[in-house]
């Protein structure tokens, strides 16, 4: 009596078919192409996410720069007022 483990792969038509698909270059190319498309999709989503983050940070930087310029202008005006008072007195 033969056990399932001693059964030859050639006796199982499904395994022979699967083996033939694995060694078929066209099937391998299709599988590789599918995998590469998935990887490209993942990479594109990461890139879009990073670009969104960069744009957000650039907007924050622009706001901070404008706020700093406004504070500097106020400081310079106060400093000029103090200089004028010292020059008068």
Q: Which range has highest mean pLDDT (6-15, 39-48, 80-89)?
A: 39-48
Q: Stretch 8-16: mean pLDDT, rounded?
A: 61
Averaged confidence pLDDT in the chain: 86
* pLDDT tens track for 40-83: 999 999 999 999 999 999 999 999 999 999 999 999 999 999 99
Locus of tokens 């099937």? 27
């Amino acid at each position: 009596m033969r056990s399932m483990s001693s059964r030859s792969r050639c006796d199982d038509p499904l395994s022979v078919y699967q083996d033939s698909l694995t060694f078929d270059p066209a099937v391998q190319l299709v599988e590789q192409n599918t995998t590469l498309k998935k990887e490209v999709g993942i990479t594109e989503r990461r890139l879009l996410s990073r670009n969104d983050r960069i744009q957000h940070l650039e907007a924050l930087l622009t706001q901070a720069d404008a706020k700093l310029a406004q504070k500097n202008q106020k400081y310079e005006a106060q400093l000029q007022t103090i200089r004028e008072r010292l020059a008068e007195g």
